[in-house]
Amino acid sequence: MKDKIVKDISQIDLEQIGDLHLFSSTDTPMRQDAFDMSDEEKMLIIEEKFAEIMQILGLDLTDDSLKGTPRRVAKMYVKEIFGGLDPDKAPKSSNFENKYNYTEMLVEKDITVYSTCEHHFLPIVGKAHVAYFSNGNVIGLSKMNRVVDYYAKRPQVQERMTIQIVKHLQKLLGTEDVACVVDAKHLCVNSRGIRDIQSSTVTSEFGGKFKDPAVKQEFLNYLTLSPE
């Protein structure tokens, strides 16, 4: 399947890939030497290159407001918004015995998503909703937020991010019974191109029991609940 996707993409003009919202793998594309340099080395190079971009655009880097921008951008890329590229920053894999014998669906709603579109390097902002059935183990509620945040903090395609979240939680919990729905706005759609500020993108991944239409519907019903 992956080979077919790659072959299909190779026949499409590179300019179209972003507009068609395509991706080639459920794994984030990374080079083998991705971590040969230290964070500080990466920031120094990014700072230099981003200063070049600003100069090409005609900006005056001697201005007090702009002179620190290359460094700020470099630090933001490496330490903040793309920190999820580093596997050492993955949420620690810890779970606990389900001593309460809770057997119903557990849902964590409205997890904030701040990510970056890998096609245009513009923000993706929205919410993720995650659910699972315990297979004897449970995790702290904040762990689901941390998993979402980890995969959001990298250049992303929303479909891939949704799959990655589910796969990570399946491995952590030792069960296929995990689901995720992400509803997000893409600034590459909202602020450029068609400039549609109203639309959002919804993606989902359902594993195990969640493939059952009744269970899937139960999960989706939880997402429409209004606070009292």
| Two tokens, residue 169 | 């939680």
Do both 36 and 133 map to the same domain?
Answer: no
One DSSP character per residue, 80-144 reads IITGGG-GGGSPP---EE-TT---S-EEEEEEEEEEEETTT--EEEEEEEEEE--SSEE--HHHH
Return the active site residues: 117-120, 158, 186, 188
Q: What is the pLDDT of residues 128-141, one digit of tens each?
A: 999 999 999 899 88
Domain end (from 64, 89, 114): 89
Do both 49 and 113 map to the same domain?
Answer: no
CATH number at residue 121: 3.30.1130.10
Domain end (from 65, 89, 113): 89
165 occurs within a structural domain: yes
Do both 111 and 58 map to the same domain?
Answer: no
| Two tokens, residue 79 | 């330490």
CB 112 within 8 A of CB 127: yes
Nearest-angstrom CA–CA distance, 107 and 109 = 6
32 occurs within a structural domain: yes
Helix (H, G, I), strand (E, B) or coil at 180: strand
Quote the number of domains for the chain: 2
Q: What is the pLDDT of residues 190-204, one digit of tens each?
A: 888 778 888 899 999
Do both 84 and 112 map to the same domain?
Answer: no
Domain end (from 68, 89, 110): 89
- Residue 33: domain span: 2-89
Do both 28 and 49 map to the same domain?
Answer: yes
Helix (H, G, I), strand (E, B) or coil at 186: strand
- The H or E element spanning position 5 is helix 2-10
Do both 78 and 43 map to the same domain?
Answer: yes
228 occurs within a structural domain: no
Q: What is the pLDDT of residues 86-117, one digit of tens each?
A: 999 998 877 788 878 889 999 999 999 999 99
Output the pLDDT for position 13: 65
132 DSSP β-pair partners? 106, 178
Do both 116 and 209 map to the same domain?
Answer: yes
190 occurs within a structural domain: yes
Q: What is the pLDDT of residues 63-87, one digit of tens each?
A: 999 999 999 999 999 999 999 999 9
57 occurs within a structural domain: yes
Give every CB contact of residue 213 below 8 A, 6+ residues apart in sequence.
none
Q: What is the DSSP letter of 175?
A: -
